[in-house]
Amino acid sequence: MGEIEKLKSFVDSFQYREKYLAAIDPKNGRYPFITISRDTGAGGHNLADAVMALIDQEKKDPLFQDWQICDQEICSRLARDSRLKVSRESLIVTEYRSATEDVLSQLLTGEASQEKIARRMFAMMRDLAVYGKSIIIGRGATCLTRNLSYGIHIRLVASLPSRISLMMKAHGKDEKWAREKIREQDRAKAAFVKNFFHKDIHDPLLYDAIWNTDRIGIDEIARILVSWIKNKAALPK
């Protein structure tokens, strides 16, 4: 599916979910959902794709219909909000800016403040989680949605060499670029969670499970998560 088709699918699905939010308990939710926190290069997007492939095999079951991966599509929808004056590319590339960097960015690009953009993003992510049937990658989703009963919160970690290898393969870049990108993005992710949620992204108590993808394959984790979705759905409403 191309980028435009993926965005249209996401927007259509999101608008469908928005219609039913008023009838859903905002402290409980309606369907299971997954949040994925990850070391850069540990395979977060690969895992989301693997889960969706298994979900597609189960789509005769209503529980597994209309699931969505929520990552770059959220950035695209935010970029379409004229009140924010922010580009999709900026949202994808920049996970966190210091206060000084944020002020400079506003002066140079005319974009809305990082806090204003984050609050709109959080509202969207929260709505997606309350309805459920979403796989939400990064951007503090675990902290934002931890009080919802149907959430499944995981973190992926891996050794630096394997993360470098994955980044080189995924982006067609050399080892120096991959090493620097990992350092930069890991720092930004930790700062984002610390600044907006006052949490340590490495705290194991934030997650239901932490998997080392050097030791357990993505496909095996995906199978476990589909089983967890079924278990979560069986919880009393």
Which pair of tokens denotes residue 8? 């249209």
Looking at per-residue pLDDT, the higher value among 229 and 78 belongs to 229
Q: Are strands 151-157 and 209-212 parallel, antiparallel or unpaired?
A: parallel
- 199 or 192, greater pLDDT: 199
Under 8 Å between Cβ of 74 and 125: yes
Residue 197: give its domain's CATH number: 3.40.50.300
pTM of the model: 0.80
User: Between these two residues, 16 and 126, which has the higher pLDDT value?
Assistant: 126
Q: Of 155, 148, 153, whose CA–CA distance to 235 is shortest?
A: 148
Residue 10 has pLDDT above 60, yes or no: no
In this predicted structure, what is the pLDDT of residue 186? 92
Is the per-residue pLDDT at 176 higher than 50?
yes
Domain range for residue 178?
A: 3-22+32-233
pLDDT confidence of 1, banded at 50, 70, 90?
A: low
Domain contains 137: yes
Q: Say if 27 falls within a structural domain.
A: no
Nearest partner of 217 among 135, 165, 134, 158, judged by Cα: 158
Question: What pLDDT does 62 receive?
Answer: 92
pLDDT tens figures, 56-67: 999 899 999 989
Q: What is the model's pLDDT at position 104?
A: 37
Report how far Cα 149 is from the mean position of its chain's Cα atoms.
18
Q: How many structural domains comprise the chain? A: 1
What average pLDDT is seen over the chain?
A: 81
The pLDDT confidence band at residue 77, using thresholds 50, 70 and 90, is confident
Q: Which pLDDT score, from 0 to 100, does residue 103 have?
A: 36
DSSP reduced 3-state for 25: coil
